[in-house]
Chain A
Amino acid sequence: MTAQTTQSVAVACFLQRLQAIEKAVAVFAIIAAVASLTADLLGRELFGMGIFGAQRAAVHLTFVAGMLGFVLATGSGQHLRIKATDHLLPSNWAPWIERLGSVLSAVILGVLAWHALGFTMQTRGVGQMSVTLGIPVWPIQAVMVYAFLSAGLRHILFAFLPDLQPQEVTSS
């Protein structure tokens, strides 16, 4: 086994575990959002009153699930991409274009993460609260920072270890 292959296996293992944790949190967030909305709907149908803050909680949970879903889609090659331009460059350039593309994706995600962090810190600084739930919103916004960083990390790893790059999936 070459040094590069050993490295790839170790990194792939790390990414798999990270992906499993992110998936578990995203699944939990969606199930909690469903439970929250269900309780609200049943409360209104059966007792004539919904649960205060249930919809707001579901919105925040959906935000968390969506941002982690963004990372999951990156890890499994599901993001939408314009493929019409693929044939404009020579096909033997493809491996280098993919590497360069991964570096570029990581840079864009890094910039987004930096500014998302700035925005989150600003919100924290002014003490912005979720009005209905009475909790600070910055920990929820921080998931956005994490998501951009985690997706960026994946792209860096794909650039250096291209065999980790997932096959693109056509999604609905």
Chain B
Amino acid sequence: MNAILGAAALFALALLRQPLLLILAAGTSYVHVVLADSRFEFMMQDVWSALDKEILLAIPMFLLAGAVMTRGSIAKRLIRIMIALTTPIPGGIGVATVLSCAIFAAISGSSIVTMLAVGSVMFPALISNGYSRSFSIGLICASGTLGIIIPPSIPMILFGIMTETSITQLFLAGIVPGLFLAFLLAVYAILINRHRDTSKWDTQEIMASIRSGAFALALPILLLGGIYSGYFTPTEAAVAALLYSLFVESLVHRELEFRDFYEIVGSTASLLGILLPLVAFATSLSVIMDYERVPQAIVAWVQTFIDSRTTFLIAANLMLLLAGAVMEVGSAIVILAPLLMPLAKVYGVDPVHFGIVMTVNLEIGYITPPVGLNLFVALAAFKASFSEVCRSVVPYIGIMLLGLTIITAVPALSLWFIR
């Protein structure tokens, strides 16, 4: 009875337009005080303990590095190289869009940052070269999602924190699935534009673009090489990315001034203020549910009607796709990951593989109506209507579902670099 009352109260809070954080805080308080044998003070203790961890330091550093790179010209320089390299391919600018997003994803940890940094340059380029608006908007929205699957990735850091899975292993596991999804998107861009004219490689332009973007190109090599070799922990990689991007944008490219930096750090503080309290209250909810043995009860209940690993993975994918369609990625991970992980372990799914499957599902949520964030960013960035954006992403949702199915069915894709 108390549980039903609690659920009704949370629904009422949603009706009264409360921020997700306050709904989560109220729900966590209710579980502590009414449903469990606990007290408010214990919840505050959990909130403090959740935010008193070194591993969280990677989040502000990657957020800040991403913001510096978006404000500067790293993205523009990477794009110039990709356009120069893809001119002989039919649909070359489309392929360049996908590749630029993939490389930018390897230096930023966010989908929106990737989409905006690349999309603001590539959308006018695609349109002026005769590509349809629908193809261009859909491609940029979908390619932008690579930002959270190709490491570094803020959602993977959150998954690692909430489920105590190695973040380094999650980063390594994201490389092949991320490149695989980029490959599928690039193949689609080529097939759709196979009748377009192409031109030969312009060696001079290739060399000039590489000279201009050499520092930008070195960043993913530094980051991924550092993480893959074990030289950097995720936090050290985040600090290195930030220092390198600051050095390149302020001293080499000369695109960043102190006043810009103040604003960038201010907006990073706001983003931190959205993410960290969510992590803190979700951790407290997870702790109290674990104490009350709720995950074990869920496992026992689910086992009564799901009897195989395959059925579990299909059910988990459907649930996560639905969650991705109605929830923001960070909040979906902090709330759902601790609940689903015990189930994944019971059915023999590798925790790192499950982290990648969860990230890809929620990545698709970025381009799924009604709350796909990339769709809303596209509305503003490309001056498109909501229905136009939704129609544009339909084929790409199909491609990414194909990718998700293969990534789920073939764990070796995710575990390539860690076994």
Chain A residues in the interface with B (C-beta under 8 A): 23, 26-27, 29-31, 33-34, 37-38, 41, 55-56, 58-59, 62-63, 65-74, 76, 78-86, 88-89, 97-98, 100-101, 104-105, 108-109, 111-112, 115-116, 118-119, 122, 141, 144, 170-172
Question: Given A74-B273, A119-B44, A172-B111, 14 other A-B contacts at CB below 8 A?
Answer: A23-B266, A27-B262, A27-B265, A30-B64, A55-B57, A63-B51, A66-B269, A66-B275, A67-B276, A79-B19, A97-B15, A101-B18, A115-B43, A172-B271
Q: Is B255 an interface residue, CB under 8 A from the partner? A: no
The DSSP consensus for interface residues of chain B is helix
B54 close to A70 (CB less than 8 A): no
Contact assessment for A84 and B60 in the assembled complex, using a CB-CB cutoff below 8 Å? no
Interface size counted on chain B using CB atoms at 8 A: 65
Given A104-B13, A172-B373, are A72 and B273 also a contact pair (CB < 8 Å)? yes
What is the 8 Å Cβ interface bit string for chain B, positions 260-271, against chain A (1 contact, 0 not)?
001001101111
In the bound complex, CA of A81 to CA of B387 (Å):
22
Contact status B110-A172, CB under 8 Å: yes
Contact A80–B21 (Cβ < 8 Å): yes
Q: Say yes or no: is B53 at the interface (Cβ < 8 Å to chain A).
A: yes
The answer to the question of B176 belonging to the interface, with a C-beta cut-off of 8 Å to chain A, is no
In Å, the complex CA distance between A103 and B45 comes to: 26
Contacts of B45 in A (CB 8 A): 119
CB < 8 Å: which of B23, B235, B273 contacts A70? B273
Bound-state Cα–Cα, A87 to B266, Å = 33
Which of B11, B20, B60, B64 is most buried by chain A, counting CB atoms within 10 A of its CB?
Answer: B60
Nearest opposing residue in chain A for B262, CB measure: A27
B47 in the interface, Cβ–Cβ < 8 Å?
yes
Chain-A contact segment, one of B86-94, B128-136, B239-247: B239-247
B319-331 CB mask vs A (1 if < 8 Å, else 0) is: 0000000111011
Residue picked from A38, A66, A88, A100, most chain B C-beta under 10 Å: A66
18 pairs of residues in contact across A and B, judged by CB atoms under 8 Å = A37-B57, A69-B268, A69-B271, A69-B272, A70-B276, A73-B270, A78-B270, A79-B19, A83-B370, A89-B15, A101-B17, A118-B40, A119-B48, A122-B41, A170-B376, A170-B377, A171-B271, A172-B271
Q: What is the minimal beta-carbon distance from A25 to any residue of chain B, in angstroms?
A: 9
Bound form: Cα–Cα A104–B372 in Å: 28
A38-B239 contact in complex given A72-B270, A84-B371, C-beta closer than 8 Å = yes
- Asked, given contacts A62-B57, A118-B44, whether A80 binds B274 with beta carbons under 8 Å apart, the answer is yes
Please provide the chain B residues from 12 to 54 with a CB less than 8 Å away from any CB of chain A in the complex: 13-23, 25-26, 29, 40-41, 43-45, 47-48, 51-54
Q: What B residues does A98 contact at CB under 8 A?
A: 17
Q: B61 interface residue, CB < 8 Å from A? A: yes
Question: How far, in Å, is B152 (CB) from chain A's closest CB?
Answer: 15
Residues of B within 8 A of A85 (CB): 11, 14-15
Q: Closest CB of chain B to A172's CB: distance in Å?
A: 3
Residue B25 contacts which of A37, A58, A108 (CB distance < 8 angstroms)? Answer: A108
Measured in the bound complex, the distance between the Cα atoms of B377 and A119 in whole Å is 40
Instruction: Report yes or no: B14 in contact with A33, Cβ–Cβ below 8 A.
Output: no
Is the CB of B56 closer than 8 A to any CB of chain A? yes
Q: Are B265 and A73 in contact (CB under 8 A)?
A: no
The 3 closest A-B pairs by CB, nearest first: A69-B273, A172-B112, A66-B276
**Cβ contact within 8 Å between A79 and B64:** no
Interchain CB contact under 8 A, B61 and A34: yes
Chain A residue numbers with a CB within 8 Å of B51 are 62-63, 66
Q: Closest residue of chain A to B51, judged by CB?
A: A63
Which B residues are in CB contact (< 8 Å) with A23?
A: 266, 269
